[in-house]
Amino acid sequence: MTTTPLRLPRTADHLDLLESHAIFILREVVAECERPVLLFSGGKDSAVLLHLAAKAFAPQLLPFPIMHIDTGQNFPEVLKYRDKVAKDVGARLIVAKVQDSIDQGKVADPGPMGSRNRLQTVTLLDAITDNGFDAAFGGARRDEDKARAKERILSFRDAFGQWDPRQQRPELWQLYQGKVNPGEHLRAFPLSDWTELDIWQYIERENMSLPEIYFAHEREVVLRDNMWLAVGPFVEPREGEVVERRVVRFRTVGDANCTGAVDSTADTLAAIIDEIAIANVSERGATRADDRFSETAMEDRKREGYF
């Protein structure tokens, strides 16, 4: 029974295989779990995830709702995109607001300019419990961060929403098993094996739309923590900061007050792919203040139940 594995005929490239794997995961989780939900922020990764989900179940509608954890500090272009895409796909959109968690006294109000990044976890876990969801699809990729690189594709969360990196379920072959007891839930990450470049190549191949802020445009920015922050309702220039008009784009989309823009003239998908292919700085390193708290900022937030 000694084997010489044979190379398959080249009928598929890496994007076909990544797409097929993601669709397989989406279908397995829907088949095994009672009440899944897809977490949708309007960013490029969740846009790809929603696109794949629509493909996996076409011509039928999505067999689950989509949910946005709304910090109230979003870029308006992203909210517009969120509502349009949800309507186009015919998905039921649930919006869970961090403001509601603040009003209910569950979390402290960080003030109009303060970061609500960490508060999202409370809103997310409450929304999962209140809706009785037992699985939540997320667009996280393992190349984003060293803690994410360690996480299983189906990631078990206990009744408190916590991730325990030392007690992960073995995940063999493609035998994804999604059973959980009441109160527990799963996070499912169909894009685990995709890199930033794969995402952009796929968006181009599928001719997908994205929020305008991913493409180069002119806007008023200030330099803070070595990032260009867009001046607006959630970022006011501090003393000593100079407001400049620059041609920039966003490599990731998070809250307006912790997501930095990068200098770029890439205004088409092809130009963005060229830019990513030779980038020297990672997307989160370039643009996310929320990862800069400590060496293990992502692991610490994930343990608490973050995305």
Partner 1 sequence: MKLALKDLLRLATIGSVDDGKSTLIGRLLVDTRQLFDDQLDAVVAASEKRGVGDLDLSFVTDGLRAEREQGITIDVAYRYASTPTRKFIIADCPGHVQYTRNMATGASTADLALVVLDVAHGLKEQTRRHLCIAALLGVHNLIVAVNKLDEAKWSQTAFQGVVDELETIARELGFASMTIIPISALLGDNVVEPSANTPWYDGPTVIEALEESDAGTWTRTGHGARLPIQWVLRQPGGGRTYAGMVNGDSFRPGDVVTLLPANIKTAITAIHSGVKGRAEAGAGLSVDVKLADETDAGRGDMLASEPLPTVTNEFVATICWFGEKPLVAGQRLRLKHTTKVTPVRVNTIDGVVDIGTLKVDAGRQLATNEIGLATLRTADPLVVDDYGDNRVTGSFVLIDEVTNATVAAGMIGRATFL
Q: Which of 88, 103, 171, 244 binds partner 1 (CB under 8 A)?
A: 171
Q: What does the block give as tokens for 71?
A: 């910090």
Q: Does 263 bind partner 1 (CB under 8 A)?
A: no
Instruction: Examine residue 286 and tell whether it contacts partner 1 (CB under 8 A).
Output: yes
SS3 84: helix
Which residue from 105, 108, 111, 166 is in contact with partner 1, where contact means CB under 8 A?
A: 166
The tokens for 36 are 């899944």
Percent helix / strand / coil, the chain, rounded to 5: 35, 15, 50
Question: Residue 104 corresponds to which tokens in the numbers above?
Answer: 């209910």
The binder of partner 1 chosen from 17, 113, 159, 243 (CB under 8 A): 17
Task: Check binding of 208 to partner 1 (CB under 8 A).
Answer: no
Pick the binder of partner 1 from 143, 221, 253, 289 (CB under 8 A): 143
Within 10 angstroms of residue 15's Cβ, the number of other Cβ atoms is 15
The residue from 177, 209, 265, 268 that contacts partner 1 (CB under 8 A) is: 177
The reply on whether position 249 binds partner 1 by CB under 8 A is no
Nearest distance, CB of residue 256 and partner 1, angstroms = 22
Binder among 33, 37, 49, 56 for partner 1 (CB under 8 A): 56
Q: Which of 142, 187, 249, 251 binds partner 1 (CB under 8 A)?
A: 142
Shortest gap between Cβ of 170 and partner 1 (angstroms)? Answer: 4
Instruction: Give me the long-range contacts of 103-110 (CB less than 8 A, separation at least 24).
Output: none
Q: Which is nearer to partner 1, 98 or 135 (CB)?
A: 135
Name the residue nearer to partner 1 (CB basis): 104 or 174: 174
> Under a CB-based contact definition with an 8 Å cutoff, are residues 17 and 201 in contact?
no
162 binds partner 1 (CB under 8 A): no
What is the side-by-side order of every strand in the sheet holding 154-157? 93-97, 66-70, 36-39, 135-137, 185-188, 154-157
**Of 196, 171, 145, the residue nearest 306 (C-alpha):** 145
